[in-house]
Amino acid sequence: MRKKIISLVGVFLTSGIIFAQVGIRTSNPQAILHIDGAKDNPASGAPSAAQQLNDFVVTSNANVGIGTTTPTDMLDVASGNARIRNITTNIGVGGTDRVVVADATGVLKTIDFTAYSLFHARLAADQSISGSATITTLMFAAPIATSPFYSYNTSTGVLTFTQAGNYLVTLQASFAGIAADAQLLLGIRPVPDATYLGRGSHYAATATPALTPTTRIGELMNYTTLLIIPTANYQVRFTAAPNQAATVLSTEMGPTGNGNVTNVTVQKI
């Protein structure tokens, strides 16, 4: 009887060891469930990175690894592509659905791409421009919308693009205190300074109203263009250059209401 009891205990202990980790095509499982697809893992020790590429594991905390025996996320794929063969009936909803991206370590995340790609800033304060030959950098306040694509220096007025690519730029300004038939010019110039990357001009048909404590209305100039940024850390500045002395207004006010008027919007496309 004693021998039978000892034998049964041995069987249960052996079963516990066997079923603690299940190995398929490997006698050296590295997780609760471990399938060695190519049957190329060593009999002891951890398999190499190359040997793990054909492995599939499920860990004790329910992480699934494909191509790795040490998954760090619920699904961890060491290398390769994911494919869904029939996804045509699962149509996204514009405006509410989010874009899936991979971070620097390959972890999938969702972002609102529209907000993520956008830069928007408003003129910090009114700016006076003295003469016809003056190209003045417009000084915007801290951006109210931005992303890692951009870095703006509020002291120098320089916008730095952190990635190469195509960017749609809309620049708007209100000029006040200017005479009739004056030319109003908005521009985008590289840093260091060189030829305009983009410029748009407009002629004021009549003089702008005089500025008073309750009325601040200017001549509106709007310009949109595409910038093709060749390299990361490329820099530009936004400029105004009327051919007569003028003031660029940060806000307008009058009988129709008050609010922001001079601003810049940039979007990566």
CATH code of 115-268, in short, is 2.60.120.40
| Burial group, residue 192, by CB count within 10 angstroms (0-12, 13-18, 19+) | exposed
List Cβ neighbours of 27 (8 Å cut-off, separation of 6 or more).
43
Q: What is the pLDDT of residue 3?
A: 54
Stretch 93-100: mean pLDDT: 79
Predicted confidence (pLDDT) at residue 259 exceeds the cutoff of 80: yes
Q: How confident is the model at residue 15 (pLDDT cuts 50, 70, 90)?
A: very low
List Cβ neighbours of 76 (8 Å cut-off, separation of 6 or more).
63, 64, 65, 66, 68
Counting residues of the chain whose pLDDT is more than 70, the rounded percentage is 91
Residue 250: name the closest of 169, 138, 161 by CA: 138
With tokens 């991979």, the residue in question is: 102
Q: What is the pLDDT of residue 157?
A: 98
3-state secondary structure of 104: coil
| Helix and strand totals (H; E) in the chain | 3, 21
pTM, two decimal places: 0.66
Residues of the chain with CATH 2.60.120.40: 115-268
pLDDT digits (tens, 9 = 90+) for 19-58: 589 999 999 999 999 999 999 999 999 999 999 999 999 9
Calpha distance 261→258 (Å, rounded): 9
Long-range contacts of 7-13 (CB under 8 A, 24+ apart): none
Predicted confidence (pLDDT) at residue 174 exceeds the cutoff of 50: yes
Spatial contact of 248 and 127, defined as CB atoms under 8 Å apart: yes
**Token reading at 240:** 């105004």
Calpha distance 206→28 (Å, rounded): 87
pLDDT digits (tens, 9 = 90+) for 158-172: 999 999 999 999 999
Q: How confident is the model at residue 143 (pLDDT cuts 50, 70, 90)?
A: very high
Stretch 66-90: mean pLDDT: 90
Does 110 or 6 have the greater pLDDT score? 110
How many other C-beta atoms can be found within 10 angstroms of the C-beta atom of residue 222?
A: 12
pLDDT digits (tens, 9 = 90+) for 201-237: 999 888 887 888 778 889 999 999 999 999 999 999 9
With tokens 């790795």, the residue in question is: 68
Burial state string for 102-114 with b = 16 or more CB within 10 A and e = fewer than 16: eeeeeeeeeeeee
**Token reading at 263:** 């601003």
15 φ/ψ sector (left φ>0, alpha ψ -120 to 50, else beta) = alpha
The Cα-based distances of 167 to 36, 89, 190, 192 in angstroms read 48, 33, 14, 19
Mean pLDDT of the chain: 89
Predicted confidence (pLDDT) at residue 7 exceeds the cutoff of 70: no
